[in-house]
Amino acid sequence: MTMLSIRNLHAAVEGKAILKGLSLEVMAGEVHAIMGPNGSGKSTLAHVLSGREGYEVTEGSIVFEGKDLLAMSPEERARDGVFLAFQYPVEIPGVNNVYMLKAALNAIRRHRGEPELDAVDFLRLIKEKAMLVQMDERFLSRAVNEGFSGGEKKRNEILQMAVLEPKLALLDETDSGLDIDALRVVANGVNQLRRSDRAIVMITHYQRLLEHIVPDFVHVLAGGRIVRSGGRDLAVTLEERGYDWLKEEAA
Amino acid sequence: MATSANDVEALISKGYKAGFITEVESDTAPPGLNEDVIRLISSKKNEPEWLLEWRLGAFRQWLKKEAPRWAHVRHQPIDYQAISYYSAPKSRKDGPKSLDEVDPKLLETYEKLGIPLREREILAGVAVDAVFDSVSVATTFREKLAEAGVIFCSFSEAVQNHPELVRKYLGSVVPVADNFYAALNSAVFSDGSFCYIPKGVRCPMELSTYFRINAAKTGQFERTLIVAEEGSYVSYLEGCTAPMRDENQLHAAVVELVAMKDARIKYSTVQNWYPGDEEGRGGIYNFVTKRGECRGENSQISWTQVETGSAITWKYPSCVLTGDNSTGEFYSVALTNNCQQADTGTKMIHIGRNTRSTIISKGISAGRGQNAYRGLVKVTKGADNARNYTQCDSLLIGPKCGAHTFPYIEVKNPTARVEHEATTSKVSEDQLFYCRSRGISREDALNMIVNGFCREVFKELPMEFAVEAQKLLGVSLEGAVG
Ligand SMILES: Nc1ncnc2c1ncn2[C@@H]1O[C@H](COP(=O)(O)OP(=O)(O)O)[C@@H](O)[C@H]1O
Ligand SMILES: [Mg+2]
């Protein structure tokens, strides 16, 4: 079943057109990789999908599970199962990591008509999930991302994904800032979260991540559009030839 | 005294007939302030001669003073002759007959704060004929306190029943001439609370629930005196998270605390008076003098305040650290939204040796709110090894509000160590979006961030109060984000 359908998406930031007719179809159970040079609009796409203000959609449509995603607020999208692992996770001083995540999960559960988890049940859950990304329990009780290293922040994002169990996970440069050991841990965590009813869209500049999380499809974003789609081998070609030949093709 | 109370009343009612205001109850003095009005107050309360003289002395001092202008607040000049300074305790009959007659906005807020129904009636001043549950609760409390030897009663009762204690301590921390508003309060104070903890006694309960119910009756010029004898402890909670109906615009309270050797006083306030409408009309002016003296060695006074109400707040709970090794603490959250203005902070006066003070101030500004922290740390010559740590953080929500910090430091002793840290931060769109992208609503996200900012202060509040304070911040911030 089609989970996400992006048609002819045009989006601008501060009056500057970034996405210029992007189309993409994602089915449940699939893992897609979107690659592209820096500044090509990958994060813009992720932000538009999750509803960040300041991104103006000038044309096109996004349908998520039959609903008009663009008509929904960021929190509504999240509650319906859209999750973005940020390229640059945000620090929130004074707000406890577990506390925030519990509030998030319970907001989602309320939306689904499920009972809220109390502190005890939630703690049990999060400890179990923390093992998935080998996250030290000490980090759980710290303020959200405050003083976390780049790698710790990325692990925290995947931990959140594991707890919130989204239908559609967008991972924006989840590999950046990770050393090889951390990359393996995070990738392993993501792999365990692959499911037939969940889709994952990975955004990455390097194909390194794709060695660890093997995608079903690879797309190249350049000039604000998907200029080429293929399988796993497309990433290898990109690694060898770079992006320039595609940019020329796009232009 | 030449003028008897009756003469005064006659005089006043004549004035009243001459057309002061319409519909004044017979037990309300007409507007205006002069020595006769003060005599009337004192005689109505059946006060001893010395207290009348004390009030008159304060009044004469007040006449010589001018309202302070240094605070970072703006308001129209207050006409002190337009205020009525005496009103007999109102009977419940004057209030609305039921909650149906109460301002729906107020009810909405009670709902959001989860205030129990019966308490809503009391807070809104509903005339309830049945004997309150609260009255019996209060009586039970009193019995328990009396067993421990703790005196906890209204100020007027204390004047009647424990005049020697009142006389000994009244004005001993905040002298009558301390400042314009304190002098005014000393001259005309209506009532308030008196609390005396005898030597070695740990007050068996937090003085809270009682207060919450009774707070609805506090007057415009409230007077509080708390004395903790050697080795005693008391935790005192003032105020109420629920907004209160109050027709008086000006509030000028005085609170005095005295801690003797090894005694500890913890004074927590949640203040949520009417802040006025979105344009700032009709809000309460809260000009309070709060001061505690650590009179004995090793004593400790700690002020914790959460200020979300009032149109204007002018308030500096202070500690005079007289005793050697004594400790003063000040933990404050002050929130200003819409057109609210707050100029608040503390004074820590180090006199004894090895005295320590800690100041943690969290100012939150939203809307067009203006929030100023004003703090003085003074180390006198004899205060060897005095230590102060001040942390002063401001959080801005939106582009139209302001935060200002005025730290004053005066050090006369070279062994003193005074540290000051200050930060200003904004609730960023990034933070809000991050939370929302996890399913948390914008409003809940803002609350979470603001509460996180206030955490160090909230953890000083008694548990149930802390929970209420968090909810209160949420309600006060509503509409602060688009
Ligand atoms: N908030 C913003 N304000 C202005 N320009 C932006 C903003 N966000 C992104 N851009 C611009 O949009 C383009 C695409 O950025 P981005 O989506 O972050 O690319 P990528 O993630 O592929 O590196 C860049 O030219 C960038 O400078
Ligand atoms: Mg990017």
Residue A131 reports pLDDT greater than 60: yes
Reported as a pLDDT band with limits 50, 70 and 90, residue A109 is: very high
Q: Cβ B437–A103 below 8 Å, yes or no? A: no
Q: What pLDDT is attached to residue B309?
A: 76
CA atoms of B188 and B256, how far apart (whole Å): 16
- To test the contact with chain A by mutation, choose from B393, B424, B435, B438 the residue with the greatest count of A C-beta atoms within 10 A, namely B438
Q: Whose CA is nearest to atom 13 of ligand 1?
A: A39
The domain segmentation of chain A, as residue ranges, is 2-250
Q: Which of A115-119, B180-184, B362-366 has the highest mean pLDDT?
A: B180-184
Digit-coded pLDDT (tens) for B131-186: 333 444 555 677 788 899 999 888 888 999 999 999 999 999 999 989 999 999 99
Digit-coded pLDDT (tens) for A175-226: 888 888 889 999 999 999 999 999 999 999 888 889 899 999 999 999 899 9
Residue with structure tokens 């149906």?
B100
Q: What pLDDT is attached to residue B193?
A: 86
Q: Which of A57-66, B92-101, B103-112, B235-244 has the highest mean pLDDT?
A: A57-66
Q: What pLDDT is attached to residue B145?
A: 85
Q: Is A204 in the pocket of ligand 1 (CB under 6 A)?
A: no
Question: Strand A2-13 to strand A55-64: parallel, antiparallel, or no bridges (unpaired)?
Answer: antiparallel
* Stronger pLDDT, B238 or B303, i.e. the higher one: B303
Ligand index nearest the alpha carbon of residue A88: 2
Reported as a pLDDT band with limits 50, 70 and 90, residue B341 is: confident
Residue B60 reports pLDDT greater than 70: yes
Cα distances from B474 to residues B280, B336, B471, B479, in angstroms, run 19, 13, 5, 10
Share of chain B above pLDDT 90, in %: 41
Cβ–Cβ < 8 Å for A131, A158: no
Reported as a pLDDT band with limits 50, 70 and 90, residue B262 is: very high
Q: Is A40 in the pocket of ligand 1 (CB under 6 A)?
A: yes
* Stronger pLDDT, A110 or B400, i.e. the higher one: A110
Q: Give me the mean pLDDT over the A145-150 stretch.
A: 90
Closest CA to B372 of B392, B388, B351: B392
Distance from CA of B437 to the nearest CA of A (A): 5
Q: Give me the mean pLDDT over the B89-99 stretch.
A: 58
Q: Give me the mean pLDDT over the A40-68 stretch.
A: 95
Residue B472 reports pLDDT greater than 50: yes
Q: What pLDDT is attached to residue A47?
A: 96
Q: Give me the mean pLDDT over the B396-416 stretch.
A: 90
Q: Give me the mean pLDDT over the B243-260 stretch.
A: 80
Distance from CA of B205 to the nearest CA of A (A): 28
Residue B101 reports pLDDT greater than 90: no
Q: What pLDDT is attached to residue B96?
A: 65
Residue B124 reports pLDDT greater than 80: no
The domain segmentation of chain B, as residue ranges, is 5-477
Residue B339 reports pLDDT greater than 80: no
* Stronger pLDDT, B261 or B41, i.e. the higher one: B261
Q: Is A53 in the pocket of ligand 1 (CB under 6 A)?
A: no
B136 touches chain A (CB under 8 A): no
Q: Give me the mean pLDDT over the B369-376 stretch.
A: 87
The helices-and-strands tally (H runs, E runs) of chain B is 14, 18
Digit-coded pLDDT (tens) for A10-48: 999 999 999 999 999 999 999 999 999 888 999 999 999
CA atoms of B97 and B125, how far apart (whole Å): 9
Q: What pLDDT is attached to residue B94?
A: 56
Reported as a pLDDT band with limits 50, 70 and 90, residue B129 is: very low
Q: Which residues contact B383 (CB under 8 A, 6 or more apart)?
A: B321, B350, B351, B352, B353, B355, B412, B413, B416
Instruction: Provide the ipTM.
Output: 0.95
**Using CA atoms in the order A188, A193, A194, A197, what is the torsion angle rounded to 10 degrees?**
180
Q: Whose CA is nearest to atom 7 of ligand 1?
A: A13
Q: Which fold has domain A2-250?
A: Rossmann fold (3.40.50)
Q: Give me the mean pLDDT over the B211-215 stretch.
A: 44
Closest CA to B272 of B236, B245, B299: B245
> For chain A, how far is it from start to end, CA to CA, in angstroms?
34
Digit-coded pLDDT (tens) for B433-467: 999 999 999 988 998 998 889 988 988 887 777 77
Reported as a pLDDT band with limits 50, 70 and 90, residue B247 is: low
* Stronger pLDDT, B144 or A62, i.e. the higher one: A62
Q: What pLDDT is attached to residue A25?
A: 96
Question: Strand A143-144 to strand A92-96: parallel, antiparallel, or no bridges (unpaired)?
Answer: antiparallel
Q: Which of B49-53, B207-211, B216-220 has the highest mean pLDDT?
A: B49-53
Cβ–Cβ < 8 Å for A189, A59: no
Q: Cβ B430–A50 below 8 Å, yes or no? A: no
Closest CA to A98 of A132, A134, A130: A130
CA angle, A128 then A133 then A136, to 5°: 75
Q: Give me the mean pLDDT over the B97-102 stretch.
A: 70
Q: Is A240 in the pocket of ligand 1 (CB under 6 A)?
A: no
CA angle, B253 then B256 then B259, to 5°: 160
Q: What pLDDT is attached to residue B270?
A: 83
Compare CB distances from A74 to B436, B448, B455 and report the shortest one's residue.
B436
Give contacts of B444 with chain A, Cβ < 8 Å: 103, 107
Cα distances from A234 to residues A201, A229, B304, in angstroms, run 16, 8, 63
Reported as a pLDDT band with limits 50, 70 and 90, residue A250 is: low
Distance from CA of B398 to the nearest CA of A (A): 15
Digit-coded pLDDT (tens) for B278-309: 676 777 788 889 999 999 999 999 999 988 87
- pTM of the predicted model as reported, rounded to 2 decimal places: 0.80
Residue B26 reports pLDDT greater than 50: no
Write a three-state SS string for B200-215.
CCECCCCECHHHHHHH
Least confident of A186-200, B266-280, B397-411: B266-280
Q: Cβ A74–B453 below 8 Å, yes or no? A: no
Q: What pLDDT is attached to residue B138?
A: 57
Residue B13 reports pLDDT greater than 70: no
Q: What pLDDT is attached to residue B368?
A: 82
Q: Cβ A95–B442 below 8 Å, yes or no? A: no
Q: Output the average pLDDT for chain B.
A: 81
Q: Cβ B441–A75 below 8 Å, yes or no? A: yes
Reported as a pLDDT band with limits 50, 70 and 90, residue B326 is: very high
